[in-house]
């Protein structure tokens, strides 16, 4: 397949996934799937929670919509136009893609980059993946059967590969660096996201901000785990804006985290504010636990900018005015690379022998 064929395949995939994101019925063969193939993926969406309690149907469909947004034709074409080398024939390399399992389809962008670059992907999914990546690869192979020759999924050892893109925790990152130390690699560690409020936010913006905090129960690296607020900002504005998310506490795993964290902090006599489904805690650390949001007040915007610059290696994104718009954290574009590492540039360099 040439680049245009690969691009067309993924654009069709995006169109198909938008149907699942909207929970629509099979629209006919125009979606690239037979009714049986469509029903098989729909079954995977509905059953994901049986294998991973965090993967609710609503969140899986939201993630499918996120991929559809990522694969929007205009954005894809603009993104790929930055890489003229994609049009040059190359020897395919075997690239391992080791995926995390914190949110649905979390490793898709890495897989997308590998296949668009004309390489072969050896995919190792997380035990928490709930079969979603395999299900997605099946509909990809239905849309373009020849692409299935470029992807292999393994549950065991990843085998001989020429390069690797591995995502995990800080602990697994050390293992990845050691194990794959002799081949070109991208190794990703823990990251989180923050928000900066300046006090001029409208109620609609703060309501949208709830999406950045609560979506996927806060488990994604693009979820906001900490918010910086002006000295005199009224926290009741946040609680009011977050009220539509109140039913999140009916999820048993989320509720268990809420009860546990609340009990621990109360025993420690830590000052907290809570509303029955979210705990706010003033805290200098970045990574808040599930069902909690850290906050920190600031007096000087310039000093805060300097601090955020220092924290850059630990942050995935920053939400706020003149930054990522409120409510948009979970909708990155194709050129919004994880950890700000240009994955396509890395993959194209393999063919140029830069890493040999």
Q: Are residues 20 and 46 in the same domain?
A: yes
- Rounded to an integer, the average pLDDT of 230-247 is 97
- Provide the token pair at 250: 């009916």
Residue 238 lies in a domain: yes
Query: Which domain CATH number covers 181?
Result: 3.40.605.10
Q: Are residues 65 and 179 in the same domain?
A: yes
Per-residue pLDDT tens over the stretch 303-333? 999 999 999 999 999 999 999 999 999 999 9
- pLDDT bin (cut points 50, 70, 90) of residue 352 is low
Q: Are residues 172 and 199 in the same domain?
A: no
Q: Are residues 186 and 198 in the same domain?
A: no
Q: Is the pLDDT of residue 47 over 70?
A: yes
Q: Are residues 177 and 200 in the same domain?
A: no
The DSSP letter of residue 102 is S
Q: Which residue has the higher pLDDT, 90 or 102?
A: 102
Q: Are residues 49 and 115 in the same domain?
A: yes
- pLDDT bin (cut points 50, 70, 90) of residue 354 is very low
Backbone φ, ψ for residue 196 (5° rounding) = -125, 120
> In the beta sheet, which residues pair with residue 324?
319
Residues with Cβ within 8 Å of 58's Cβ and at least 6 positions away in sequence, in order, are: none
| pLDDT attached to residue 90 | 86
Distances (CA, A) of 72 to 68, 286, 338: 6, 33, 19
Residue 146 lies in a domain: yes
Residue 337 lies in a domain: no
Q: Mean of the per-residue pLDDT values for the chain?
A: 95
Burial 19-35 (b: 16+ CB within 10 A, else e): bbbeeeeeeeeebbbee
- Rounded to an integer, the average pLDDT of 110-114 is 98
- Rounded to an integer, the average pLDDT of 172-179 is 90
Residue 200 lies in a domain: yes
| pLDDT attached to residue 156 | 87
Report the distance separating Cα 2 and Cα 299, nearest Å.
54
Q: Is the pLDDT of residue 351 over 80?
A: no
- Provide the token pair at 41: 């993926």
Which pairs from 266-273 meet CB under 8 Å and 24+ separation? Answer: 273/235
| pLDDT attached to residue 160 | 94
- Rounded to an integer, the average pLDDT of 97-114 is 97
Report the distance separating Cα 155 and Cα 125, nearest Å.
7
SS3 335: coil
Last residue of a domain, one of 190, 210, 239: 190
Residue 303 CB: number of other CB atoms within 10 A? Answer: 10
Report the distance separating Cα 80 and Cα 171, nearest Å.
34
Residue 343 lies in a domain: no
Report the distance separating Cα 317 and Cα 332, nearest Å.
10
| pLDDT attached to residue 355 | 47
Q: Are residues 205 and 150 in the same domain?
A: no
Strands 292-298 and 224-230: parallel
Q: Are residues 177 and 157 in the same domain?
A: yes
Residue 96 lies in a domain: yes
Last residue of a domain, one of 165, 190, 215: 190
Q: Is the pLDDT of residue 255 over 80?
A: yes
Residue bearing tokens 């991208």: 186
Last residue of a domain, one of 190, 207, 227: 190
Q: Are residues 306 and 181 in the same domain?
A: no
User: In which domain, by residue range, is 277 found?
Assistant: 192-320
Residue 340 lies in a domain: no
Percent of the chain with pLDDT over 90: 93
State the total domains in the chain.
Answer: 2
Q: Are residues 211 and 263 in the same domain?
A: yes
User: Is residue 106 exposed (0-12), middle (13-18) or buried (19+ Cβ within 10 Å)?
Assistant: buried
Per-residue pLDDT tens over the stretch 10-39? 999 999 999 999 999 999 999 999 999 999
Q: Is the pLDDT of residue 356 over 60?
A: no
Q: Are residues 153 and 198 in the same domain?
A: no
- Rounded to an integer, the average pLDDT of 153-181 is 92
- pLDDT bin (cut points 50, 70, 90) of residue 169 is confident
| pLDDT attached to residue 353 | 54
Report the distance separating Cα 294 and Cα 271, nearest Å.
12
| pLDDT attached to residue 170 | 86
Q: Are residues 153 and 206 in the same domain?
A: no
Residue 328 lies in a domain: no
Query: Which domain CATH number covers 241?
Result: 3.40.309.10
């Amino acid at each position: 397949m040439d680049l245009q064929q690969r691009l067309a395949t993924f654009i069709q995939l995006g169109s198909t996934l938008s149907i699942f994101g909207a929970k629509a019925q099979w629209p006919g063969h125009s979606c690239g799937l037979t009714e049986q193939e469509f029903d098989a993926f729909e079954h995977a969406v509905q059953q994901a929670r049986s294998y991973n309690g965090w993967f609710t149907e609503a969140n899986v469909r939201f993630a499918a919509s996120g991929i559809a947004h990522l694969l929007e034709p205009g954005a894809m074409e603009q993104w790929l136009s930055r890489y003229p080398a994609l049009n040059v024939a190359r020897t395919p390399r075997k690239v391992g893609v080791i995926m995390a399992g914190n949110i649905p389809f979390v490793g898709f962008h890495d897989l997308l980059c590998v296949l668009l670059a004309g390489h072969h992907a050896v995919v190792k999914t997380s035990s928490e993946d709930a079969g979603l990546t395999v299900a997605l690869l099946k509909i990809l192979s239905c849309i373009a059967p020849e692409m299935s020759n470029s992807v292999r999924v393994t549950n065991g050892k990843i085998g001989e590969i020429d390069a690797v893109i591995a995502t995990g925790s800080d602990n697994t990152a050390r293992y990845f660096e050691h194990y794959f130390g002799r081949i070109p690699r991208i190794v990703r560690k823990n990251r989180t996201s923050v928000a900066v409020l300046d006090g001029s936010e409208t109620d609609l913006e703060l309501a949208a901000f709830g999406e950045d905090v609560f979506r996927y129960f806060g488990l994604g690296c693009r979820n906001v785990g900490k918010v910086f607020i002006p000295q005199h900002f009224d926290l009741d504005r946040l609680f009011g804006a977050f009220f539509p998310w109140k039913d999140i506490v009916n999820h048993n795993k989320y509720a268990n985290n809420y009860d546990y964290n609340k009990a621990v902090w109360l025993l420690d006599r830590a000052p907290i504010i809570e509303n029955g489904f979210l705990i706010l805690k003033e805290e200098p650390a970045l990574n808040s636990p599930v069902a909690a949001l850290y906050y920190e007040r600031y007096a000087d915007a310039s000093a805060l900018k300097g601090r955020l610059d220092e924290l850059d290696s630990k942050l995935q994104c920053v939400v706020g005015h003149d930054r990522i718009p409120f409510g948009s954290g979970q909708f990155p574009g194709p050129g919004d690379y994880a950890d700000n590492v240009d994955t396509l540039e890395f993959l194209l360099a393999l063919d140029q022998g830069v890493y040999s």
